[in-house]
Amino acid sequence: MILRYDLPKEAENKISLSSGEKIYYAVPFDIDENGNWTKDSYIVVTTLKIHVFSAGDVRTFSISDLESAKAEPGVGGGVLTVKMNGQHRVLAHYSSGHLSRYAYVARGINILISGRFEEVISNEYEKICPHCGRVIPGTKTCPKCSGEGRFLGVFLKMAGPYKKHFFWIFFLMIMAAVTTLLNPEVQKHLINNVLKEGGDMKTAMIFLVLMFILSVSIVIVNVLKSNASARLGSKIASDLRGQLFEKYQKLPLSFINDRRPGELLNRITQDTRYISDFMADVFCNLFAVFFIFIWDVIFMLVINTKLALITFILVPVVSVIMISFRKTISRIFHLQYKKNDDVSSDLQDVISGMRVVKTYGKEKEESDRFKAVAVDFALIQKRNERFWAMFDFIVSFLMGMGVVIVVYFGGLDVFEGSMSAGELYQFITYTLLLFQYVGWLGRLPREISRLTSSLERIYDILAQDVEEEASDLKEFEIKGEITFDHATFGYKSYQPVLEDINAVIKPGEMIGIVGASGTGKSTLINLLMRLYETDDGRILVDGVDMKDISRRSYHSQLGVVLQETFLFSGTILDNIRFSKPDATIHEIIKAAKLANAHDFITMLPDGYNTYVGEKGYTLSGGERQRIAIARAILPDPNILILDEATASLDTENEFMIQKALERLTSGKTTFAIAHRLSTLKNADRIMVIDGHHIAEIGTHSELLSRKGIYYNLYNAQIQN
């Protein structure tokens, strides 16, 4: 999301920056103090001041005079207020399109007020194009404002690694064009020199053999051309799928969570398939069509200039129709592809949550909901196809009229003797080719629209900024000392979930994490798992900033057991080995024994080769949990994270898993979230999260003696 817009010259000239002062935020507001729409009004925040530009006037506030800032949402918009001398002052009114933007700005102002100079960064997409005001359809840039040259640039970027393949296809296109254009010339001589003049059989056979050779050549060249294009399309699609999947692995979770699964899936499957189809069905003829079209026009002018000019009258008419509807075609098919994403996403949601659907007996409701989405997509598709059928009919009708005109006026020229029968036949053939390719070009906008949409969506993912790890990041054996140094984080950086977290965890220490729902316990372990990076402050591992440690090195020494155990579709052996792909069978069995999983695994018909379905639902909850513990044990990690590892289990399974966890946590730095506080009695210390901060930290007995938050939570559980 843009937090620093380009300012108008008038506003720029009124800002005088002192030494060391920087502009952090410059955002527009579009409603004046009377509730009317306004333009060229901006809030500019520097490291020292806030400037409010509106109607040519400027108001300036010093950051040092402010106590706080707040972005308050309302109906249809919001207001940015600051507190000065105990009173609130309104700086700007803005519409709903700027709600998130001003939340970031308010957060940034509050950081400056606190005396820190960290700049708030937004990784959110712009949902509304700042230039044309249109909704951006899930891509990084606005398709309308990206310019016509964007498609060519993206296509050339895609084609870059395959230059040799494209050269071979271009050569075959030229050969196809040459053989196609030569055939009517031979047919003309056959008619004039043999059929009309009564030539001998030998001459006829020569022309027939030439026609046969050209016809066979056309077939062979077109087959080679189509095969080469199809193979290249498949290779490009395959490579793009690989690149997209690899990029998905590198993208932050915040990006993945902001997108629907069906949308992300379609970019790998359908969008790449569209590219493959375009190469096989359209590109293989693209340059051949242009080549034939140009030479076709030249030959028609050479054969009969007057007749050619009469024929060409319809070409501009058809071209104007195609150009007039080009943007409409692009718009309606963009919408169709977007609705297709909705269908795929809803289908993905229902299939993934089928257990919940069946549990609550909601099959009928979900079927009706999906049908509504599918019907919506079908209506859009039907409307688009109806439009396309009418468009195609008009173009085809005009081209048919062109052939009738050629036959009529060309026939008159033959009767008058100014044109031979062979030349008329040749001219009609070229006319048919001309209108055939004009019709083909008329259908091209639809194919280009689909390809453009697919390329934009694919390269929108590939163009996402990913922070590549530096080659000099540290790799070392972790002892397990964890230090939180003023760590602050929010899934939206303007809304911290954890703020100013400070704590030092000793190597081998077990830390229990407790607190009410929504206080940030899971967020804390998400930071420890490096699924997210802190917005402010640091997390140190053995005195080294976590950001300076190689991810591969860190994660190879990290073990995780979550409440919602996820198993991949595959064998039990594969699931345990996932954390250490090179593990031997003996190491896997040892890990399974430590996790109290070996006995039940060996009782299964296929033992360790037993196939578990999606998410492992063919196993019980306790069995899945013990396999997850074996997976965590296998690499012998130095840091362990346990998120409700025994929640929702029966007493027997909980006992088995608790025994396994005791062996697992021995001598390792461990962070354990638990709602059942009795399971944390043996923790070295317990950390209580409340109000986005560490409210209390100490041993079980120490926290009870303080009679604070932990004391109340513990007593509430005992009483229940």
Q: What are phi and psi of 698, to 5 degrees?
A: 165, -175
How many angstroms separate the most distant Cα atoms in the chain? 120
* Stronger pLDDT, 22 or 205, i.e. the higher one: 22
Alpha carbons 150 and 325: distance in angstroms, whole number:
20
CB 691 within 8 A of CB 708: no
Distance of CA 186 to the CA centre of its chain: 54
What pLDDT does 468 receive? 66
Predicted confidence band of residue 149 (pLDDT cuts 50, 70, 90) = very low
Q: Is-contact 180 433, C-beta < 8 A?
A: yes
How, if at all, do strands 611-612 and 77-84 pair?
unpaired
- The least confident of 324-338, 518-532, 596-610 is 324-338
Burial of 167 (0-12, 13-18, 19+ CB in 10 A): exposed
Give which of 111, 35, 116, 8 is closest to 26, Cα–Cα: 8
Which helix (H) or strand (E) segment is 545 a member of? Answer: strand 544-545
Percent of the chain at pLDDT > 90 equals 9
pLDDT band at 502 (very low <50, low <70, confident <90, very high): very high
CA distance 374 to 78: 36
DSSP string, 3-30: -BPPPPHHHHHT----TT--EEEEEE--
Domains, the chain, in order of start with CATH, read 9-113 (2.30.29.30), 149-462 (1.20.1560.10), 478-557+639-720 (3.40.50.300), 566-636 (3.40.50.300)
Give burial (CB, 10 Å; 0-12/13-18/19+) of 349: middle
Comparing CA positions, the residue from 28, 61, 89 lying closest to residue 81 is 89
- Range with the largest mean pLDDT of 125-129, 517-521, 610-614: 517-521
Tokens of 346: 């809803």
Residue 258 has pLDDT above 60, yes or no: yes
> Looking at per-residue confidence, does 147 or 411 come out higher?
411
Q: Give the per-residue SS3 of 210-228.
A: HHHHHHHHHHHHHHHHHHH
What residues does 43 pair with on adjacent strands? 27, 52
In 87-190, DSSP assigns E strands to: 87-95
User: Distances from the Cα of 547 to the Cαs of 229, 467, 669, 678, in angstroms?
Assistant: 45, 11, 19, 35
Rounded CA separation 1/104 (Å): 10
pTM of the model: 0.66
- Residue owning tokens 């530009």: 53
Q: How far apart are CA 547 and CA 535, in angstroms?
A: 12
Tokens coding 214 = 């050209």
Supply the pLDDT for residue 222.
82
Report pLDDT for 540: 93
Closest C-alpha among 676, 623, 618 to residue 647: 676
pLDDT given for residue 442 in this prediction:
67
Sequence-separated (6 or more) residues with CB below 8 Å from residue 414: 420, 421, 424
Q: E strand or H helix at 561, and its extent?
A: strand 558-561
Q: Round to whole Å and give the CA distance between 215 and 204.
A: 16
Q: How far apart are CA 553 and CA 2, in angstroms?
A: 35
Tell me the pLDDT tens digit for each residue of 291-319.
877 887 888 888 888 888 887 777 777 77
196-225 pLDDT tens trace: 555 567 777 777 888 788 788 888 888 888
Looking at residues 330-357, what average pLDDT do you find?
71
Mean pLDDT confidence for 639-664: 68
Neighbours of 548 (CB within 10 A): 13
Provide the mean pLDDT of the chain: 80
**Cβ(616)–Cβ(627) below 8 Å:** yes
- Average of pLDDT values for 356-383? 80
Query: What is the Cα–Cα distance from 107 to 45, expressed in whole angstroms?
Result: 12
Contact between 187 and 208 (Cβ < 8 Å): no
* Bigger pLDDT: 645 vs 68: 68
Residues 6+ apart with CB under 8 A from 354: none
What is the pLDDT at residue 503? 92
For the residues 505-529, what does the mean pLDDT come to?
A: 88
Average pLDDT over residues 413-422: 75
Higher-pLDDT residue of 519, 347: 519
Cα separation, 314 vs 319, in Å, equals: 9
Quote the tokens at residue 52. 């409010």
Q: What is the pLDDT of residue 482?
A: 93
Cα separation, 564 vs 552, whole angstroms: 24
Contacts for 552 with CB less than 8 Å, ≥ 6 apart: 475
Q: Is 178 exposed, middle or buried (0-12, 13-18, 19+ CB in 10 A)?
A: middle
User: For residue 483, what are the β-bridge partners?
Assistant: 504, 540
Give the single-character DSSP code of 475.
Answer: -
Give 136-139 contacts, CB < 8 A, sequence gap 24+.
137/334, 137/338, 138/259, 138/263, 138/338, 138/341, 138/457, 138/460, 139/456, 139/457, 139/460
Q: Are 434 and 297 in contact (CB under 8 A)?
A: yes
Q: Nearest 5 degrees, angle CA 485-CA 490-CA 495?
A: 120
Question: Measured in Å, how far apart are the chain's first and last C-alpha atoms?
Answer: 47
Position 148 scores a pLDDT of: 45
> CA dist 304 to 291, 403, 419, 609, 644, Å?
20, 15, 8, 78, 86
Q: And the tokens for 2?
A: 């843009």
The residue among 489, 655, 657 whose CA lies nearest residue 563 is 657
pLDDT digits (tens, 9 = 90+) for 546-557: 988 888 888 888
The pLDDT of residue 46 is above 60: yes
Cα 619 to the center of its chain, rounded Å? 33
Residue 373 has pLDDT above 90, yes or no: no
- For residue 98, the 8-state DSSP code is G
d(CA 462, CA 464): 6
pLDDT value at 560 more than 80: yes
* Model confidence pLDDT, tens digit, residues 62-92: 999 999 999 888 878 889 999 988 889 999 9
Give tens-digit pLDDT for 668-713: 898 988 777 767 777 889 999 988 889 999 988 888 898 888 888 8
Cα 293 from Cα 439, distance rounded (Å): 11
Q: What is the pLDDT of residue 144?
A: 62
Most confident of 56-65, 403-412, 445-454, 667-676: 56-65
For 497, 543, 672, 700, the CA distances from 502, given in Å and listed in that order, are: 14, 14, 18, 20
- Whether the per-residue pLDDT at 649 is higher than 60: the answer is no
